[in-house]
Amino acid sequence: MKLIDRNVYLDKMISVIGTPDIKVITGVRRSGKSKLLEAFRDYVEKTYTDANIIHINYNLTKFENFKDYHVLNTHIEKSYKKGIENFVLIDEVQMCPSFELAINNIHALEMFDIYITGSNAFLLSSDLATLFTGRTFEIKIFPFSFKEFLRYYNLTDYYAAFDRYLKEGGMAGSYLYKDQEAKYDYIADVFDTLIVRDIKQKYKIRNPILMSRIVDFLMDNMSNLTSARNIADALTNQKDKINHKTVGNYIEYLCNAFAFYKVRRYDIVGKKYLSSSDKYYLSDHTFRYAKLGSKNMNRGRTIENIVAVELLRRGYEVYVGVLYKKEIDFVALKRNEKIYIQISDDISEEKTFEREVRPLLSIKDAYPRMLIARTRCEEYQYEGIRIVDVANWLAED
């Protein structure tokens, strides 16, 4: 498989070399965590020529014996070399039961620089503080961005490339297949593995059929406001009464495994978070096409999903803005930075353009405002609002 440098993530790993944290690489399945760990190993070998690297990849049968955490711990301790840098790299750490006991022990020895990856359902962001007694540093990895898609295929026509990216998405493993249906078969299999094996095994799901129905509902309502109660009501029929608390738990499991990202609502005037309804975005938009088909593809909602994930990739906190009775698609926050963003597929008609900019014009503060759409032209300004083509925005630094 062709590889490209993913320097955004690699640079984050390099920046924390030598810190006492346990570095944990998280992200949806098949998003490149193992390849990133290999790239980091290559960097360490080139930069620290006398470093001692203890690399354990549980995908390989030669490490079968290390699936006992006592054996893992003993191997790492015995592999220590005094007087030089000692790196511990463990891939798919969840395949070693009680792995956290070994990790906590070697971390407490203060002799190793530790980096681990694992299946998301077993190595959750919310569980890191509980699993590990020491500090952790999380490196969140996403499927290929549009910019990485351009580099992988050596594409220079942003507008034509974006049309391809809409269909092919960022699950790089699918790029090896020539036929679009074969690509979707691969992507569907990745998602089914994520749901059926990881989440079902982790949470001992009693009703996998309900889980599948919730997944289909969230995919079909991608970027729409919804709630666990609304989903429960929609899925309830004469035979089955579905509890909204169960639905809420299943949605939480899906978000924990990075299948979906939850985006909450934010009251712009009252400056408070609202809890009645949320939006859910897929970690990669092609999961929807692979599972439900692309015949009824809604380009506007798909573009909104792509922008939501890109904002998260760029390190923003993302919310749905509420301004009186109007909705702002995204309020993106990062430290002292705030951006108001509207998303549209086609703003060539004056009525559509006015509808999209109206909520942005209603905002009274001085933070930047932006309308991202498929304009297929260079950026321009309208009453202080940046009008930006989505492909150009995704490709910018």
Q: Which tens digit of pLDDT belongs to each residue from 32-89? A: 899 999 999 999 999 998 999 999 999 899 999 999 999 999 999 999 999 999 999 9
pLDDT of amino acid 206: 87
Burial readout 114-131 (b: 16 or more C-beta within 10 A, e: otherwise): bbbbbbbbbbbeeebeeb
SS3 143: coil
Whole-prediction pTM value?
A: 0.92
pLDDT given at position 120: 65
The helix (run of H) or strand (run of E) holding residue 251 is: helix 244-256
Q: Is 270 helix (H, G, I), strand (E, B) or coil?
A: coil
Tokens coding 66? 């290390």
Question: How high is the mean pLDDT of the chain?
Answer: 91
- Per-residue pLDDT at 132: 85
The residues, ordered by sequence, that sit 6+ positions from 84 with a Cβ below 8 Å of its Cβ are 48, 50, 51, 52
Q: Is pLDDT of 1 > 70?
A: no
Joined tokens for residue 82: 């005094």
What the block records as the tokens of 127 is: 């569980």
pLDDT for residue 363: 92
Question: What pLDDT, on a 0 to 100 scale, did the predictor assign at position 327?
Answer: 87
335-341 long-range contacts, Cβ below 8 Å, gap at least 24? Answer: 338/367, 338/368, 339/367, 339/368, 339/369, 339/370, 340/367, 340/368, 340/369, 340/370, 341/307, 341/311, 341/369, 341/370, 341/371, 341/372
Residue 241 pLDDT level (bands cut at 50, 70, 90): confident
Residue 397: per-residue pLDDT: 78
Residue with more model confidence, 2 or 39 = 39
Query: How many helices, marked H, and strands, marked E, lie in the chain?
Result: 16, 13
**Residues 318 and 332 sit within 8 Å (Cβ to Cβ):** yes
Question: For 96-106, what is each residue's pLDDT tens digit?
Answer: 999 999 999 99
**pLDDT for residue 240:** 75
SS3 341: strand
d(CA 257, CA 300): 26
b/e 293-320 (16+ beta carbons within 10 angstroms → b): eeeeeeeebbbbbbbbbbbbbeebebbb
Residue 126: the pLDDT is: 64
For residue 318, the surrounding DSSP H or E stretch is strand 317-323
Amino acid found at 224: N
The CATH number given to 7-140 is: 3.40.50.300
Q: How many residues does the chain have?
A: 397
Q: Which of 132-141, 273-282, 323-332, 338-347 has the highest mean pLDDT?
A: 338-347
Phi, psi at residue 186, to the nearest 5°? -60, -45
**For the chain, what are the domain ranges?**
7-140, 146-395
Residue written as tokens 């969140």?
140
**Tokens linked to 113:** 């620089």
pLDDT tens for each residue of 284-342: 999 999 999 876 678 999 999 999 999 999 999 999 988 877 889 999 999 889 999 99
pLDDT at 202: 83
pLDDT digits (tens, 9 = 90+) for 186-221: 999 999 987 777 888 888 898 889 999 999 999 999
The residue whose two tokens read 């942005």 is 360
Residue 275 in this model has a pLDDT that exceeds 90: no
pLDDT tens digits for range 342-387: 999 999 999 999 999 999 999 988 999 999 999 999 999 999 999 9
Q: Which residues pair with 24 in a beta bridge?
A: 116, 138
Picking from 28, 193, 24, 162, the residue whose alpha carbon sits closest to that of residue 93 is 24
In the predicted model, is pLDDT for residue 238 greater than 60?
Answer: no
